[in-house]
């Protein structure tokens, strides 16, 4: 098994090289509540490539949060008829730079073709006749539109709209249970879409007589021998919306059979949104954080109680930084071992930090992290020593101090800085000064040391030595 790899730092969901698995993961990691373009994995797995989408972040609950914009069309668009490119090619894209929550431009994003979703939503707005009503399957919804919503797991929007699925159909009933369900076309006691009271079929890629990629086909007779009214998206009549072709329809809200499109609201703008299930993978366990060396943190933890981990996500920040983790540092640990670890360097010595670790399965991530805190160790001076047991008068000797981080040191003899030994740069482990004793006596040697990262954290060490006389016959300097 390959050894684990601690990847370079990256903000998940904010670059093509570091995609999120879904929009909710970005919220979990960074607490973002502003709708924004993000990068997600093209196939919803840790091995997918990055694709950019516009995402709804957190708006209080999953009903109005975590949705990814798949496609959108303007009122009167000709880009989304039943046989148009979005429904005949699973590699088709259009205006992919239009990453915004609007209906001013036709667009089809690459996520429409490949990203697996568990919930699907179409929002109709801006009708040709009348006005938008906020309702449908989600009352008082975030979009201010008439919304249809379905739940089908792990399929792309393209596959959903090109695979026949007649969700409900047959003889229309004006009493419960409605066929199709009332929330698709009724606004209270008023119609939002037109309808007929004979036969009806609702679903995806249906064509009992007329055709719809996501819609309802109505007929006033007790069969599908002929169809007169179709509503929804990808209609064989043309534009998305409400396209009656026969005037024997019950009018849509605010309309009548003598205006509009024979009582319908006419062509409408729309948006297609998809949503993956919220992260539900297990939480890593037993996080331990230590500071073995100044400016560093060593992390170790264990796997969630169940499930196969693909990789881990590690976050850290100063405890004084934003509490929502929006400014945190993030990196991944891939191909993890059974005893995963991580090393964080470059931390501010003496500062308090918060740490979090999340697990990722191949297509899921932790619903919550394991957390830990640490005050990072300062650089310290541990001791000072000579390279000989007894220094000799007027003979060069080496003083060595042991330190724990890069910094600066000054050596003193009898309280005075030794010439050439002031503010000497240290390595991460030691510093050496050459000293020539100038007295035959007991000498007090001292070292002061300050780490570069925290220059005010000065530590000292001292040593008292006896300087011996030179051997007889030795030459004076």
pLDDT digits (tens, 9 = 90+) for 127-168: 998 887 899 999 889 999 999 999 987 799 999 999 999 998
3-class DSSP state of 410: strand
Condensed to tens digits (0 to 9), the pLDDT of residues 282-340 reads: 999 999 999 887 889 999 999 999 999 999 999 999 999 999 999 999 999 999 999 99
Distances (CA, A) of 302 to 286, 287, 359, 381: 6, 7, 10, 34
Can you tell me the distance from the alpha carbon of 452 to that of 160, in angstroms, rounded to the nearest whole number? 60
CB 311 within 8 A of CB 46: yes
Q: How sure is the predictor about 69, in pLDDT bands with cuts at 50, 70 and 90?
A: very high
Burial of 442 by CB count in 10 Å (0-12 exposed, 13-18 middle, 19+ buried)?
exposed
Hey, which residues does 6 pair with through a beta bridge?
333
Query: What mean pLDDT value characterizes the chain?
Result: 91
What number is the average pLDDT over the span 363-392? 86
Q: What is the DSSP string of 220-247?
A: SSSSSSS--EEEEEEETTBSSEEEE-SS
Burial of 167 by CB count in 10 Å (0-12 exposed, 13-18 middle, 19+ buried)?
middle
Can you tell me the distance from the alpha carbon of 347 to that of 317, in angstroms, rounded to the nearest whole number? 9
For residue 469, the 8-state DSSP code is P
Q: 280-375 adopts what CATH topology?
A: Immunoglobulin-like (2.60.40)
Decide yes or no: CATH 2.60.40.10 for domain 381-466: yes
CB 297 within 8 A of CB 353: yes
Can you tell me the distance from the alpha carbon of 249 to that of 196, in angstroms, rounded to the nearest whole number? 5
Q: What residue ranges do the domains of the chain occupy?
A: 63-277, 280-375, 381-466
Condensed to tens digits (0 to 9), the pLDDT of residues 225-241 reads: 888 889 999 999 878 98
pTM of the model: 0.83
What number is the average pLDDT over the span 104-118? 96
Q: What is the DSSP string of 105-139?
A: S-EE-HHHHH--BSEEEEEEE--SSS---SEETST
Nearest in space to 368 (alpha carbons), one of 303, 279, 276 = 279
Can you tell me the distance from the alpha carbon of 366 to that of 359, in angstroms, rounded to the nearest whole number? 5
Hunting for tokens 């040697």 — which residue is that? 445
Give the contacts of 244 (CB within 8 A, at least 6 positions apart): 194, 228, 229, 230, 261, 262, 263, 264
What number is the average pLDDT over the span 30-36? 93
Shared fold status for 280-375 and 381-466: yes
């Amino acid at each position: 098994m390959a050894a684990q790899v601690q990847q370079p730092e990256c903000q998940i969901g904010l670059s093509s090289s570091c995609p999120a698995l879904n929009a909710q993961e970005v919220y979990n990691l960074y607490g973002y509540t502003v709708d924004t373009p993000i990068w997600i994995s093209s196939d919803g797995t840790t091995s997918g490539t990055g694709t950019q989408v516009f995402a709804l972040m957190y708006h209080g609950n999953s009903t109005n949060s975590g949705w990814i914009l798949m496609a959108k069309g303007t009122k009167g668009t000709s880009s989304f008829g039943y046989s148009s490119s979005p429904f005949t090619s699973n590699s088709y894209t259009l205006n992919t730079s239009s990453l915004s929550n609007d209906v001013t431009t036709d667009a089809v994003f690459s996520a429409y073709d490949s990203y697996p979703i568990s919930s699907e939503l179409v929002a109709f707005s801006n009708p040709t006749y009348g006005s938008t009503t906020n309702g449908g399957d989600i009352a008082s919804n975030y979009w201010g539109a008439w919304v249809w919503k379905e739940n089908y797991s792990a399929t792309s929007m393209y596959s959903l709209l090109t695979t026949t699925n007649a969700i409900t159909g047959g003889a229309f009933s004006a009493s419960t249970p409605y066929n199709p369900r009332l929330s698709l076309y009724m606004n209270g006691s008023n119609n939002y879409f037109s309808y007929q009271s004979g036969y009806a079929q609702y679903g995806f890629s249906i064509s009992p007589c007329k055709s719809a990629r996501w819609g309802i086909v109505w007929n006033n007779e007790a069969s599908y021998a002929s169809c007169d009214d179709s509503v929804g998206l990808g209609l064989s009549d043309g534009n998305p919306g409400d396209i009656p072709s026969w005037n024997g329809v019950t009018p849509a809200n605010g309309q009548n059979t003598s205006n509009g499109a024979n009582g319908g609201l006419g062509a409408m703008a729309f948006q297609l949104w998809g949503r993956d299930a919220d992260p539900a993978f297990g939480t890593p366990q037993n996080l331990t954080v230590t500071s073995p060396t100044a400016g560093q943190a060593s992390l170790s933890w264990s796997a969630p109680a169940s499930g196969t981990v693909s990789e881990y996500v590690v976050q850290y920040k100063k405890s004084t930084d934003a509490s929502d983790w929006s400014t945190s540092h993030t990196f991944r640990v891939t191909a993890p071992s059974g005893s995963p670890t991580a090393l964080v360097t470059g931390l501010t010595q003496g500062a308090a930090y918060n740490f979090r670790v999340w697990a990722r399965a191949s297509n899921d991530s932790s619903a919550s992290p394991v957390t830990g805190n640490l005050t990072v160790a300062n650089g310290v001076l541990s001791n000072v020593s000579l390279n000989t047991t007894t220094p000799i008068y007027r003979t060069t000797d080496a003083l060595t101090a042991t330190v724990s981080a890069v910094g600066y040191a000054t050596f003193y003899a009898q309280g005075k800085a030794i010439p050439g030994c002031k503010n000497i740069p240290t390595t991460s482990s030691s510093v050496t000064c050459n000293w020539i004793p100038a007295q035959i006596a007991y000498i007090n040697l001292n070292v002061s040391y300050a780490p570069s990262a925290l220059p005010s954290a000065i530590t000292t060490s001292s040593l008292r030595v006896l300087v011996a006389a030179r051997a007889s016959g030795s030459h004076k300097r």
